Amino acid sequence: MQKYSKNKIWFLGRGFEEYILMFDLDISNLSNCRILDCNAGSSSFTTHMNQKGFDVIAADICYGKDPEEMEKISEKDFFTLMNAHKNLQDKVEWVFFKNHKDMVNYRIKVYHDFLEHYKKVKKEFYVESKLPKLPFLDDSFHLVLSSHLLFLYDDRLDYDFHFNSINEMLRVSSKEVRIYPLVSLRSHYKSKFVGQLINDLSSEYQVKVQKVNYHFRQGAYEMLCIQKNPKHEDKCRLVSRDIIKVEGK
Ligand SMILES: C[S@@+](CC[C@H](N)C(=O)[O-])C[C@H]1O[C@@H](n2cnc3c(N)ncnc32)[C@H](O)[C@@H]1O
């Protein structure tokens, strides 16, 4: 089995229901929205959203690979992480998941759903891209989501990478960028970059830290919302709400 490495950025994905909570999404307001899931990994958000008729594209550094190789990477990273996770019980709260077994079963379904979709529609929905650059035109999306890369891995990705990646997400978004979580991997506290980023972005954008209803990693109860002033009004409404009906959970 692959050894757990403290320097690796893992190719693991959260599920559709987790995304709804992590980003405080109200999908009834997203029908006219084009969404980008940045550094999406083996998440099933794009899979489920497209099956429900929403317009979502996923981007990740790994998406150039063919489906067979992607399956191998997904499985290797999944089993290594789930094994390592047994020793991290003090870092998580059993709220979204009942227990370790519940989490493992849920995450198996997530990456299987992702792989099935990736095999069928890789070219259309899964775009290879390496932050801090994105291969999309300005204002291509209404909403850009990014989870479990920025802030979390602040011990191996420096401030410039964070600043440039967020500015690139803002370039391709006409409305808003949401980032979750704000904690770094080795603590329950906000990443050292959060304060400086809010400072550096606030002169040009509306930036706020917002509580979310997703509870798993201790301390990871907030997302960062960065809003642009829209150049023109369109039908997309990105409204959050406090109580979200989560399908399937
Ligand atoms: C822990 S996963 C997060 C996946 C998903 N967003 C989630 O929340 O479950 C981190 C992802 O970031 C991707 N990644 C790492 N460096 C990247 C970069 N420079 N550009 C784009 N993606 C990157 C990895 O391939 C991996 O899929």
What is the predicted pLDDT for the residue at 30?
92
* % of residues, the chain, pLDDT over 90: 72
Residue 245 pLDDT > 70? no
Please give the sequence-ordered ranges of beta strands (E in DSSP) within 93-169, or none if there are none.
126-128, 141-147
* Band of pLDDT at residue 242, cut at 50, 70 and 90: very low
Which of 81, 148, 149, 161 should be mutated for ligand 1, with most atoms under 8 A from CB?
149
Tokens coding 84: 């390592």
3-state SS class at 237: coil
- Per-residue pLDDT averaged across 39-45, rounded? 97
C-beta 62 within 6 A of ligand 1: yes
Averaged pLDDT, 55-82? 90
What pLDDT, on the 0 to 100 scale, is given for residue 237? 67
The answer to whether the CB of 24 falls within 8 A of the CB of 97 is no
User: Where do the structural domains in the chain lie, given as residue ranges?
Assistant: 26-227
Flag whether pLDDT at 249 surpasses 70: no
Which H/E stretch holds residue 200? helix 194-201
Ligand 1 pocket member 15 (CB < 6 A): no
What is the CATH superfamily name and number for domain 26-227?
Answer: Vaccinia Virus protein VP39 (3.40.50.150)
Task: Provide the angle, in degrees to the nearest 10, between the axes of the packed helices 194-201 and 159-172.
Answer: 40
What whole-number distance in Å separates Cα of residue 29 and Cα of residue 44? Answer: 20
Residue 126 Cβ contacting ligand 1 at under 6 Å = no
> Which of 32, 30, 50, 31 lies closest to 40, judged by CA?
50
Q: How far apart are CA 18 and CA 110, in angstroms?
A: 10
Percent of the chain with pLDDT over 70: 90
* Over residues 105-131, mean pLDDT: 93
Cα 148 to middle of ligand 1, angstroms: 7
Q: How would you classify residue 63: left for phi > 0, otherwise alpha for psi between -120 and 50, otherwise beta?
A: alpha
Measured in whole angstroms, the distance separating CA 224 from the mean position of its chain's CA atoms is: 12
pLDDT (0 to 100) of residue 248: 43
Asked if residue 144 has its Cβ within 6 Å of ligand 1, the reply is no
Is pLDDT of 98 > 50? yes
- Among protein residues, the one with the nearest Cα to ligand 1's atom 24 is 11
Question: 123 pLDDT band (50/70/90 cuts)?
Answer: confident
CA dihedral sign, ordered 249, 42, 197, 234? negative
Amino acid at 199: N
CB-ligand 1 contact for 44 (6 Å cutoff): no
> Ligand 1: which residue has its CA nearest to atom 12?
39
Query: For 132-141, 147-156, 218-227, 234-243, which range has the lowest pLDDT when averaged over its residues?
Result: 234-243
The stretch 138-163 carries a mean pLDDT of 96
- At 127, is the secondary structure helix, strand, or coil? strand
> 166-188, pLDDT tens digit by residue?
999 999 999 999 999 999 988 88
* 190-226 pLDDT, tens digit each: 999 999 999 999 999 999 999 999 999 999 999 999 9
- Which is nearest to 77 in space by CA: 50, 121, 114? 114
Show the tokens assigned to 223: 């997302």
Residue partners of 159: CB distance under 8 A and separation at least 6: 193, 196
Asked if 24 and 212 touch (Cβ cutoff 8 Å), the reply is: yes
Mean pLDDT of the chain: 89
Q: What is residue 246's predicted lDDT score, i.e. its pLDDT?
A: 35
